[in-house]
Structure 1
Amino acid sequence: MSILYLIRHGQASFGASDYDALSEGGRHQARVLGDFFLSAGTHFDACWSGTLKRQKQTLGQVRERFLEAGVDLPLPTDTPALDEYDYEAVLRALVPLIEREDPAFIKDVSTMLSDRRAFQKVFGRVMTRWASGSDRVDGLPEWSAFAAVVTAGIHEIIAHSDRGSRIVAFTSGGPIAATVGSVMGLAAEKTIALSWQLANASITRFKFSDGRISLDTFNEYGHLEGQAGNRLVTYR
């Protein structure tokens, strides 16, 4: 039996000019994650990462802790299959549609970049609408297409893994949710909602053998609790 660890990236820089870069808190989360693996004696036989900056920076912080401890972490294989969906493109495409149906929605949209609650309200409504597949917008990929790319990527990782190996992959909430949804046979709207529960620098584990994969644990973040008065447990 082999184990695949899917790691959500550390906290990105919400509201900053470069959202894709880790915040200082995100870097701290990633270092704590690395220390957790080291204290547990968890070694990895292979390492994968998406191509986004926040994913690769999370990996970089973990790798740094491993190297400082004299422990090897295999060089990563990058794959865009682990990248997050383009939520900005989804917002641009669907927010105007929802505003025409519900003018009151404009109030939340106008404050979403300065108010995290407004952002989550807008984000959740728009992404659920996208996942439902009820709209067809030129140039906007469907959730089902995104999920299919993720699933194919996960199967590629599994196909390149030796029996009994431990694999770590640094990714984002959308690909983790898509993988859980595929394994558990969940509807698209329920699947995408899983991504909003995932803490930054959390761990979701899958067991796999002979082409079969099953969910082992979901959204582990105990390594962050108790750190800095629980301020390290973040979701955006």
Structure 2
Amino acid sequence: MGNIYLIRHGQASFGADDYDVLSPIGIRQAEVLGGHLANLGVRIDRSISGDLRRQQHTANATLQQLLGDDQNAPVIEIDPAFNEFDADAVIRALLPDMLPEEPEALNILRNAAQHRAEFQRLFAKLIGRWLTGEYDTPGLQSWQGFVEQVQGGLERLLQQADNKQNIAVFTSGGTITALLHLITGIAPARAFELNWQIVNTSLSCLKFRGTQVSLASFNSHVHLQLLKAPELITYR
């Protein structure tokens, strides 16, 4: 059987003007992951990333530590199907209807870095509405549309894959959540409860043969735990 390693990007710049940039901790997380995979003797035959900068930067930093200057290292393939859903668009589209019951929401969301717990509560509430499909608005990608995007990426990957390959996919938490939903049949709301626990640069492993895919492991971050450095275990 082949292996697909789903790797969540390193810590991004939460609360900054540009979220789509790895923080210094995020870069370190990716380097630690690459070194850990090298120590385990993991062979990567193909590497795929979404086209977001935080995903590609994680891929480059991880593979540099894993493969060094190996001239035969696989080129990182880019497939935007493995991008994260547009969280900002979800917030902009669904927040107005929620303001009557959450009058402080706008201030909290604008100052997320200073209100992390409240931001998470409000964001989870907005995502819950998005998942139902009852609040879909023109121009906003629906949850079902996002799932179909991710499914298309997985199907393309499998069509091109050899059953003995180890494939690394550098992606994001929402994308991993959609894959959990597709592969295990877990309900979207339950899948997102797991989403909030996905650690930056964690590994989830899928086993595949042909078009048959199963979940082998989820959210492993032992590479960070072994360092006994709690600051490296982050969720955004």
* TM-score clears 0.5: yes
Distance verdict in 2 for CA 1:26–1:140, change over 3 Å: same
For 2:31, the equivalent position in structure 1 comes to 31
Which consecutive residues of structure 1, in runs of 5 or more, have no partner in the other structure?
Answer: none
Q: Are the counterparts in 1 of residues 47 and 74 from structure 2 also a CA contact under 8 Å?
A: yes
1:51 partnered with 2:48: no
1:94 partnered with 2:126: no
For 2:124, the equivalent position in structure 1 comes to 124
Instruction: Look up the SS of the partner of 2:222 in the other structure.
Output: coil
When normalised by structure 2's length, the TM-score is 0.94
For 1:176, the equivalent position in structure 2 comes to 176
When normalised by structure 1's length, the TM-score is 0.94
For 1:8, the equivalent position in structure 2 comes to 8
Q: Are the counterparts in 1 of residues 34 and 65 from structure 2 also a CA contact under 8 Å?
A: yes
- Alpha-carbon shift at residue 230 of structure 1 (Å): 2.0
- How many residue pairs are counted as aligned between the two chains? 236
Q: Are the counterparts in 2 of residues 47 and 73 from structure 1 also a CA contact under 8 Å?
A: no
The Cα RMSD (Å) is 1.7
- Alpha-carbon shift at residue 111 of structure 1 (Å): 4.5
1:214 partnered with 2:214: yes
Which consecutive residues of structure 2, in runs of 5 or more, have no partner in the other structure?
Answer: none
Instruction: Look up the SS of the partner of 2:99 in the other structure.
Output: helix
- Alpha-carbon shift at residue 94 of structure 1 (Å): 0.9
Q: Are the counterparts in 2 of residues 111 and 118 from structure 1 also a CA contact under 8 Å?
A: no
- Alpha-carbon shift at residue 123 of structure 1 (Å): 1.1
For 1:158, the equivalent position in structure 2 comes to 158
How far apart, CA to CA, are the structure 2 residues paired with 1:231 and 1:113?
A: 16
Instruction: Look up the SS of the partner of 2:149 in the other structure.
Output: helix
**1:65-118 per-position Cα deviation (integer Å, ceiling 9, x unaligned):** 134375853111100100000000100111111112444655644643422112
**1:135-174 per-position Cα deviation (integer Å, ceiling 9, x unaligned):** 1212111101101110110111111111211110100001
- Alpha-carbon shift at residue 190 of structure 1 (Å): 1.8
- Alpha-carbon shift at residue 64 of structure 1 (Å): 1.6
For 1:61, the equivalent position in structure 2 comes to 61
Distance verdict in 2 for CA 1:110–1:83, change over 3 Å: closer
Q: Which moved more, 1:175-184 or 1:127-136?
A: 127-136
Q: Are the counterparts in 2 of residues 34 and 63 from structure 1 also a CA contact under 8 Å?
A: yes
For 1:187, the equivalent position in structure 2 comes to 187
For 1:201, the equivalent position in structure 2 comes to 201
Q: Are the counterparts in 2 of residues 84 and 171 from structure 1 also a CA contact under 8 Å?
A: yes
Q: Are the counterparts in 1 of residues 82 and 172 from structure 2 also a CA contact under 8 Å?
A: yes
Q: Are the counterparts in 1 of residues 202 and 221 from structure 2 also a CA contact under 8 Å?
A: yes
* Percent of pairs with identical residues: 37
AA partner of residue 42 (structure 1) = V
1:135 partnered with 2:135: yes
How far apart, CA to CA, are the structure 2 residues paired with 1:62 and 1:182?
A: 27
How far apart, CA to CA, are the structure 1 residues paired with 2:11 and 2:57?
A: 11
Q: Which moved more, 1:172-181 or 1:191-200?
A: 191-200
